[in-house]
Amino acid sequence: MHQLTLAEIARGLADKKFSSEELTKALLARITQLDPQLNSFISLTEDLALQQAKAADARRANGENGALLGAPIAHKDLFCTQGIRTSCGSKMLDNFKAPYDATVVAKLAAAGAVTLGKTNMDEFAMGSANESSYYGAVKNPWNLEHVPGGSSGGSAAAVAARLLPAATATDTGGSIRQPAAFTNLTGLKPTYGRVSRWGMIAYASSLDQGGPLARTAEDCAILLQGMAGFDANDSTSIDEPVPDYSASLNGSLQGLRIGVPKEYFSAGLDSRIADLVMASVEELKKLGAVVKEISLPNIQHAIPAYYVIAPAEASSNLSRFDGVRFGYRCENPKNLIDLYKRSRGEGFGPEVQRRIMVGAYALSAGYYDAYYLKAQKIRRLVKNDFMAAFTEVDIILGPTTPNPAWKLGAKNSDPVSAYLEDVYTITANLAGLPGLSMPAGFVDGLPVGVQLLAPYFQEGRLLNVAHQYQQNTDWHTRTPTGF
Ligand code: GLN
């Protein structure tokens, strides 16, 4: 049963081949058996899952239907779940039980999805390897000595290892698409404002966006449908109708204009990944697409701009965790300053502390114009590059990452080398555009992803292209040995 996709589960439940309760029990047993190798879960929510599964079965018995009704999923552990630990991968929130559900959690629960647990993640979603979690590193099911990507590494490893069909994730600079690429999944970062951020613990508010991680584009369409929509509780949520994403999957690609940016193929890109990217272009050409070289001249400035803006927003967002209003409090503080210093010093790990310092520095009076303001100007230039490109092409295609998943620990002593791995993903966050990563082959037995970017609110177009590609290739069906 663990090989079933969300779409297949919906059909199986509708045809009464199995119940949600049976499926839920089978997957919980599989998680208990296999997850010790991966460490992809921070919390399992067995009682809640069984209760939701029974309720979903009862709704189906009453004639209700729905693609998510009875479907088992898990949430990245930064989505608030009422009465359940919501740790954000941090000691700071190790004992935090959220008093309410995030909008995404509430919407999916209302659609009948069953929550199996909360998945591991980089601390406060800062990272690209899922090694900065207070709960330990997550392993890549394709090779247990390699990282699964981050920050949504727990969601990715769990779905890739067939512990469950799909999971929620978030993407501030690539944390849905990069782990998707590293674990042979399909992951979609929606347009900024498409999915509510209410109850999603903030890292960098102007960049953060929730989205689905699954094995197929078809499943991403199903999960996104349950997540997307206007939310009056999130002031950056956009009041646009949500299209039927599943209905968009079967459009013809005849005449689709694909732009391939020449700047993507620079020295930093593994040539074997470049070859797989071009092979995916050939595949799409067979389906009727036409290809055009384009230019995004300002992408070379995107990493430095992102690594000013994201830490700046993080330093502000994380100021609330002070041991008084929120978060861990140190033992026996001598006075108020000691309480702040030790609560934050002991509660936050080294990567989070580094980012708070970088961000506070960039925002300080003497440096604001030189760093933060300059970074915002670059952000606009990056956006303008995309706006110009999308007058000529319908989607932009390239690699999701310059290299496949690296070995655990390989970049621990050099954070900047990990930052550089985000080169292809962060531009979509700076511009607020939707992006999708889909499986496109293997290098040294490790999965490789191809990234598609589209104009604002064209998630349906991304899903359509990925689905058509997946109807004609089988990379996404490959399963890691041992799982
Ligand atoms: N790797 C990027 C960072 O560390 C992106 C993380 C994310 O998207 N949450 O900031």
Is the shortest distance between the CB of 127 and ligand 1 below 6 Å? yes
Atom of ligand 1 nearest to the CA of 128: 1
List of the chain residues with pLDDT < 50: none
Is the shortest distance between the CB of 152 and ligand 1 below 6 Å? no
State how far the Cα of 103 lies from the Cα of 80, in Å rounded to an integer.
9
Give the per-residue pLDDT at 267.
82
C-alpha 172 – ligand 1 centre gap (Å): 5
**pTM exceeds 0.85 for this model:** yes
Nearest CA to ligand 1 atom 4: 127
Q: Over the stretch 175-199, which tens digit does the pLDDT of each residue have?
A: 999 999 999 999 999 999 999 999 9
Segments making up each domain of the chain, as ranges: 6-255+399-477
Is the shortest distance between the CB of 19 and ligand 1 below 6 Å? no
Q: Over the stretch 237-275, which tens digit does the pLDDT of each residue have?
A: 999 999 999 999 999 999 999 999 999 998 899 999 999
C-alpha 301 – ligand 1 centre gap (Å): 17
* Alpha-carbon Rg for the chain in angstroms: 21
54 as an active site residue: the answer is no
Please state which CATH class domain 6-255+399-477 belongs to.
alpha beta
For the chain, the straight-line distance linking the first and the last C-alpha, in angstroms and rounded, comes to 13
Q: What secondary structure does DSSP assign to 127-162, as a single string?
A: -SSS---TT-PPPBTTBTTB---SSSHHHHHHHHTT
State how far the Cα of 91 lies from the Cα of 78, in Å rounded to an integer.
13
Kindly name the residue from 43, 128, 155, 175 that is annotated as catalytic: 175
Is the shortest distance between the CB of 440 and ligand 1 below 6 Å? no
Nearest CA to ligand 1 atom 10: 126
